[in-house]
Amino acid sequence: MAWQWFHRLGSPRWFYEKTSAWLPWLAAASALLLAVGMAWGLGFAPQDAKQGNSYRIIFIHVPAAFLALAGYYLMAISGAIGLIWKMKLSFVVMRAAAPIGAALTFVSLFTGAVWGKPTWGTYWVWDARITSMLILFFLYVGVIALSGAFAREQLADKACALLALVGTVNIPIIYKSVDWWFTLHQPATIKLTESSSIDPSMFYPLLTMIIGFYCFYAWVLILHTRTLVLKRESRTQWVQQLLGEGR
Amino acid sequence: MEFQFAGLADFIAMNGHGPFVWVAYGVTLLTMAGLVTQPLLERRRLRAEFRREQRIRERRAARRQPERPAAEAALAE
Amino acid sequence: MSTPDTRHLPPVSATPADLSPRERRGPGFGALLQTELRLALRRRSDIANPLLFFVTVLALLPLGVGPEPGLLARLAPGMIWVMALLATLLSQESLFRSDFEDGSLEQLTLSPQPLYFGVLAKVAVHWLVTGLPLALLSPLLGLMLNLPAAGYACLLLSLLLGTASLSLIGAVGAGLTVALRRPGLLLALIVMPLYVPVLIFGTGAVQAAVDGYAYSVQLAILAALLAAAAALAPLAAAGAIRISTDS
């Protein structure tokens, strides 16, 4: 039973038809959660005692950073599934996840830099987390660049999957080493990584935003995957019919 | 839970941190909007391409159509 | 170079029945290592170029930042390491190239011996002709950049361990890009983020030595990274080669 379902999941057409029904729900859920979370975080959550209002950037910075990392693992795992079970759809998901992950990594880097100016007095600090995030961004860029270099999509799929897997093995090592590097060079005056417990009045809007970002991610990933499916299967009958209908 | 600011101007200024907060939110929302519109635009492009190919195919078929009866007529003679 | 390269194959006339069991197994690790080394030593310029690059760029550094000895001494560990990294990276592009072009890489994938050992032999030879000379040359550059006396032994040891890891990691990128016409920059893009841990612990070791601290921990971590890379990177590179030669 489970295997049958697994194989059906591998069919691009089945995926396309199935997800048509999910899209409006995911879109509505992410729009609602993000709107509520943003209004809550921007207007109703109390000011931070030390950082004032600039801390309100946390409500987009942290969810984006979460998803940037989770997105890399998702990309690598779907690449691995593609390599092991030769599943076409899995490669498509991997290819769709790369630009989304890169965009979210960029968002977390950008918001972090903008947050840094009022808080630390400078846009860029070579802090352990920021540096790790930057390297994660380069890992994404590598996968995207490699995917664009091949003329044959099948070759690009496999090469990207392998690179993503190698990157996944490396991510924990990179994070640990950057952490170690930072403690070595940490300037005494700036303390960035204090782990203070967050107040519930700030935590709930943050949680709303995190769930909202997850919904948004799922929605956008499905959108990108569907478009890539159409592009790749454009010679098949069902796609021709779909495009002809104008739906 | 209550609104933390005295008014709209106060909300936008955010005690001097306004520009930072709004730029961060603005860029985030723009990126997210880009992520949503990119596949939709791509899909529209695919559809336009398909339509164009279809029109060409139909025109070719239409051009071939009138020739066939003439050829058949010639065969019949 | 003009003679056909049949070193991985038994004589064409031989049928499997004529071969001794030893010949049927194909060339082992030692035989591969010997032939590779002999071939590599024949290409003198390929050995000399990374070394010349290493020296030339480091000679540019004082021209860029000024000849002040204190400043150069502070920059020396990091600059020597970064340049060794770039020199390794630049020489890596040709790691599988000529074998791919004359088809012997594909023959290697068909050999009864695991591809792991074939890749390991190639990488070992690459290290012997680039990493090892780079490391041996580094004390001279340390001298030119006014590296404090305490740093020399550590610089040499860390580069010996580190360049081997760099060669291994780079082999994955070289395998992924070998089918592309101009892989140069792309190879750098996909491999550089993976180099980060080695760079951090390499420069960390030298810096610790210069500052008069114990550096055995950093060297131990570099050795651990090398062990992990030796176990995993040839596997990944072998997968990459199978992807690239599969057409």
Chain A residues with CB under 8 Å of B4 CB are 43-47
Would residue C5 count as lying in a domain?
Answer: no
Q: Which of C141, C160, C131 is nearest to C219 (CA)?
A: C160
Domain of C62, in residue numbers: 29-244
Q: Express each pLDDT in A104-134 by its tens digit.
A: 999 999 998 888 888 878 888 888 888 889 9
State the pLDDT at residue C5: 55
- Does the distance separating the beta carbons of C244 and A177 come in below 8 Å? no
Pick the residue from chain A with its C-alpha nearest to B13.
Answer: A53
Lowest mean pLDDT among A143-147, B64-68, C157-161: B64-68
State the pLDDT at residue A125: 81
Angle between helices C216-245 and C115-126 (to 10 degrees): 120
Would residue B43 count as lying in a domain?
Answer: yes
Distance CA A4, CA A100 (A): 30
pLDDT for residue C150 is more than 90 = no
C229 contact partners, CB below 8 Å, separation of at least 6: C164, C165, C168, C169
> Å from A210 to nearest chain B CA?
14
Q: Express each pLDDT in A184-210 by its tens digit.
A: 765 544 444 444 567 777 888 889 999
* Residue C31 pLDDT level (bands cut at 50, 70, 90): confident
- Does the distance separating the beta carbons of C176 and A146 come in below 8 Å? yes
Q: Express each pLDDT in A48-75 by its tens digit.
A: 767 777 888 888 998 999 999 999 999 9
Would residue C42 count as lying in a domain?
Answer: yes
Q: Which of B14, B35, B46 lies nearest to residue A53, judging by beta carbons?
A: B14
Distance CA C210, CA C212 (A): 5
Q: Express each pLDDT in C115-143 by its tens digit.
A: 888 899 999 999 999 999 999 999 998 98
- Chain C contact present for A175, CB below 8 A: no
Distance CA A5, CA A87 (A): 13
Lowest mean pLDDT among C68-72, C81-85, C132-136: C68-72
Q: Which of C193, C201, C204 lies nearest to residue A139, judging by beta carbons?
A: C193
- Chain B contact present for A73, CB below 8 A: no
Under DSSP, the state recorded for B65 is T
- Does the distance separating the beta carbons of C243 and A177 come in below 8 Å? no
Would residue B71 count as lying in a domain?
Answer: no
Would residue B56 count as lying in a domain?
Answer: yes
Helix (H) or strand (E) holding B61: helix B18-64
Average pLDDT, chain C: 85
> Å from C213 to nearest chain A CA?
12
Q: How many domains does chain C have?
A: 1
Would residue B4 count as lying in a domain?
Answer: no
ipTM attached to this prediction:
0.83
Chain C residues with CB under 8 Å of A145 CB are 186, 189-190
**DSSP letters spanning chain A:** -HHHHHHHHT-HHHHHHHHHHHHHHHHHHHHHHHHHHHHIIIIISPPBTTTBGGGGGHHHHHHHHHHHHHHHHHHHHHHHHHHHH--HHHHHHHHHHHHHHHHHHHHHHHHHHHHHHHHHSSS----HHHHHHHHHHHHHHHHHHHHHH-SSHHHHHHHHHHHHHHHHHHHHHHHHHHHHHHHHH--SS------PPPPHHHHHHHHHHHHHHHHHHHHHHHHHHHHHHHHHTTTSHHHHHHHHHT-
Q: Express each pLDDT in A7-33 by its tens digit.
A: 666 788 888 888 888 899 999 999 999
Chain A residues with CB under 8 Å of B21 CB are 42, 53-54, 56-57
Q: Which of A22, A203, A167, A150 is nearest to A80 (CA)?
A: A167
Size of interface A-B (CB pairs under 8 A): 103
Distance CA C222, CA C200 (A): 10
Largest CA distance in chain A: 65
Provide the chain C residues 221-240 that lie in CB contact (below 8 A) with chain A. Answer: 225, 232, 236, 239-240
Domain of B53, in residue numbers: 31-63
How much is the pTM?
0.86
Q: Does residue C41 or residue A2 have the better pLDDT? A: C41
Q: How many domains does chain B have?
A: 1
CB atoms within 10 A of CB A32: 13
- Does the distance separating the beta carbons of A149 and C180 come in below 8 Å? yes
Q: Which of A135, A139, A166 lies nearest to residue C236, judging by beta carbons?
A: A166
